[in-house]
Chains A and B, each alone.
Chain A
Amino acid sequence: MSILEEISENLQKGRAKVVKELVQNAVDSGVDPETVLKEGLLPGMSVIGERFKNNEVYVPEVLVAARAMNMGAQVLKPYLERAGIKAAGKICLGTVQGDLHDIGKNLVKMMMEGKGLEVVDLGTDVSPDTFIRTAIDQNCQIIACSALLTTTMGVMEEVVNKAVEAGIRDRVKIMIGGAPVDEAFCRKIGADCYTPDAASAAEAAAGFCASMGA
């Protein structure tokens, strides 16, 4: 097994310390840091995402895998920055105003980072204006909104409307997710994409960013 395969395998098992050591060893032994990212860490996270989507693994396995990926990514970060390697796209993500639930939002963040995307995590209780301002200021390709409550899902429509008002609707995709929303609601409010789980959200985001030439 190559060291890149070892990184991927250990990431899938959530062995954060081992992943960190292996990533450092790989870089020290001359493996290109971008290769370590793209052929070690990201494939491992992709496997976890797919297995999560298929109900073969559950939230704990995703969380420990993501922790392992973060530890590996921290090792790589200075090397990638020096080499000018950029993320495959940029997303601003948050739980909408009035809602403090963040487990789903955090899972989406981990999965998106596992696709090599940069996520601006706006946290919870995020106003429509904050989503729009962040998308403009940080040049995000996607706004991703999460909600758990039927009483807060309406805020997503405000985000869509504010994006239209701000004149960015043609260059920013709006994704929605969370317990009370579905495809029909997505169409009704004029958002671009509803996904039923975190892994699908990451896949869709990666697809959007690729198609938008990020």
Chain B
Amino acid sequence: MTNRERAMNILHFRPADRMPAVHFGYWQELLDEWAAQGKIPADLAEGNFDGSAKEAELDRLIGWDFNWYRTYGSSNHLAPGFETKVIETLPDGTRRVQNADGIIERIKPGITSIPSEDDYLLKDREAFEKLYKPRMQYMPGRVDLEFYSRFNEIRPYDVPVGLHLGSVMGNIRNITTVTGMSYLLYSEDEELFADIVDTYAEMQYKCAEAILQTGAKFDFAHYWEDICFKNGPLMSPAVFDELCAKHYKKRNDLCRRYGIDVISLDCDGVIGKLLPTWVENGVNTMFPIEVGVWGDQFEPARMKFGKEVLGVGGMDKTALREDRAAVDREIERMRRLASLGGFIPCPDHRLMPGTKFELVQYYAEKIKEIRP
């Protein structure tokens, strides 16, 4: 069996000879750390991203079968992006930079976590109509039709590959900030936020449609959202449903018309309250199910929605910073979850600094011993 067959069989509740060892990539700092420790060749720490040749080489070194995040998509965001420019440099070296989304970020030297957001451009109807709406239109060039016309000849067939559908709300949050999103939701212009969501979603739908019309074949489709945190969603589930449900349904119906019936969604945090919107509108595979940092769980979703909900993720990656006993406990937990069917264990986010190389090798070896 290929890893593609293993994964797709498991996600369709069909037999597979063993569990594939699936991962979700690494923090760059971890790759640098492993290189400094002599665990991996230094050149594997550079340019190692989802689906890259270097990632495949590192997969072999560790014993991974594949990264779930092997997806192909389009230029389905703001086009063109805003000019990236330094607004000011502060005495401590901190730079205030306008990024391609129109967000003013504060970037501090020596800090590698995400920048903090100082300000944003999308504050009112005028900014939307003049600055953003034109950048949210479908146009030739968003989809590389030539590439997708050859896609079935050049895509790998030993691992599952996905069509990236973009995002319904996550990218809107990105271009407005959490604060801006909140103010826009409660703007005196009551239609404004919905107009933004609808305009953006329509462009993303057309991108997905253009790709699928080329005949390109995918094993699954995938969204990125990141719209939840430790205590649940960043916005009211009712508002989320009102704004987003129809767009998920439209895009997911499109996918199913083209034979894609595994539709996964990457959302960090505790996602339970948004599950109804996703599941009822065709998203069926939750990823990465963050149990370690955020305390999310897969079982309640399965109990509530039955086999309509699949999972990729759910393995507490922090065990990979501890010892074999901690990893063994996670393996046993994964064995129980795998027995439910329709579930593929995967570390619950990108592996972070402090993760022990030998423990990752050990986990990759042991997870393959699970018989789905």
What is A's interface to B at a CB cutoff of 8 Å?
Answer: 14, 55, 57-61, 63-64, 67, 98-104, 106, 124-125, 148-152, 178-180, 196-197
- Please state if A179 and B230 are interface contacts (CB–CB under 8 Å): yes
Q: In whole Å, how far is A25's beta carbon from the nearest beta carbon of chain B?
A: 20
- Please state if A60 and B113 are interface contacts (CB–CB under 8 Å): no
Chain B: residues with Cβ within 8 Å of the partner, total of 31
What CA separation (Å) do A102 and B177 show in the bound complex?
11
- Please state if B114 and A59 are interface contacts (CB–CB under 8 Å): no
From A100, A102, A180, residue with most partner B Cβ within 10 Å: A100
Stretch in contact with the other chain, from B68-76, B137-145, B156-164, B182-190: B182-190
What CA separation (Å) do A151 and B232 show in the bound complex?
22
- Please state if B113 and A149 are interface contacts (CB–CB under 8 Å): yes
Contact of A100 among B116, B230, B234, B318 (CB under 8 A): B116
List chain B residues, Cβ under 8 A from A197.
Answer: 231
Closest chain A residue to B354, Cβ basis: A151
Q: In whole Å, how far is B114's beta carbon from the nearest beta carbon of chain A?
A: 6
What CA separation (Å) do A63 and B114 show in the bound complex?
21
Closest chain B residue to A63, Cβ basis: B182
- Please state if A124 and B185 are interface contacts (CB–CB under 8 Å): no
- Please state if A64 and B186 are interface contacts (CB–CB under 8 Å): yes
Contact of B114 among A58, A101, A151, A179 (CB under 8 A): A101
- Please state if B113 and A99 are interface contacts (CB–CB under 8 Å): yes
What CA separation (Å) do A57 and B239 show in the bound complex?
11
What CA separation (Å) do A56 and B234 show in the bound complex?
12
Closest chain A residue to B117, Cβ basis: A102
Contact of B273 among A55, A61, A106, A178 (CB under 8 A): A55
B26 within 8 A of A: no
What CA separation (Å) do A152 and B106 show in the bound complex?
18
What CA separation (Å) do A99 and B29 show in the bound complex?
15
- Please state if B116 and A102 are interface contacts (CB–CB under 8 Å): yes
What CA separation (Å) do A81 and B352 show in the bound complex?
49
List chain A residues, Cβ under 8 A from B231.
Answer: 55, 196-197
Identify the 8 closest CB pairs spanning chains A and B, nearest first: A60-B182, A63-B182, A100-B116, A64-B186, A179-B230, A58-B236, A14-B186, A60-B185
* Sample (5) of A-B pairs whose CB atoms are under 8 Å apart: A60-B181, A99-B113, A100-B111, A104-B229, A179-B229
Within 8 A of A (CB), among B113-135: 113-116
Contact of A124 among B116, B229, B293 (CB under 8 A): B116
What CA separation (Å) do A29 and B116 show in the bound complex?
43
List chain B residues, Cβ under 8 A from A14.
Answer: 186
B194 within 8 A of A: no
Closest chain A residue to B92, Cβ basis: A125
Q: In whole Å, how far is A71's beta carbon from the nearest beta carbon of chain B?
A: 13
B294 within 8 A of A: yes
A59 in contact with B116 given A100-B106, A151-B353, A197-B231 (CB within 8 Å): no
List chain B residues, Cβ under 8 A from A55.
Answer: 231-232, 273
- Please state if A179 and B293 are interface contacts (CB–CB under 8 Å): yes
B178 within 8 A of A: yes
- Please state if B108 and A103 are interface contacts (CB–CB under 8 Å): no
List chain A residues, Cβ under 8 A from B273.
Answer: 55
Contact of B113 among A58, A59, A98, A104 (CB under 8 A): A98
A100 in contact with B236 given A14-B186, A59-B182, A151-B354 (CB within 8 Å): no
Contact of A59 among B106, B178, B293 (CB under 8 A): B178
- Please state if B352 and A57 are interface contacts (CB–CB under 8 Å): no
What CA separation (Å) do A197 and B231 show in the bound complex?
7
What CA separation (Å) do A67 and B232 show in the bound complex?
22
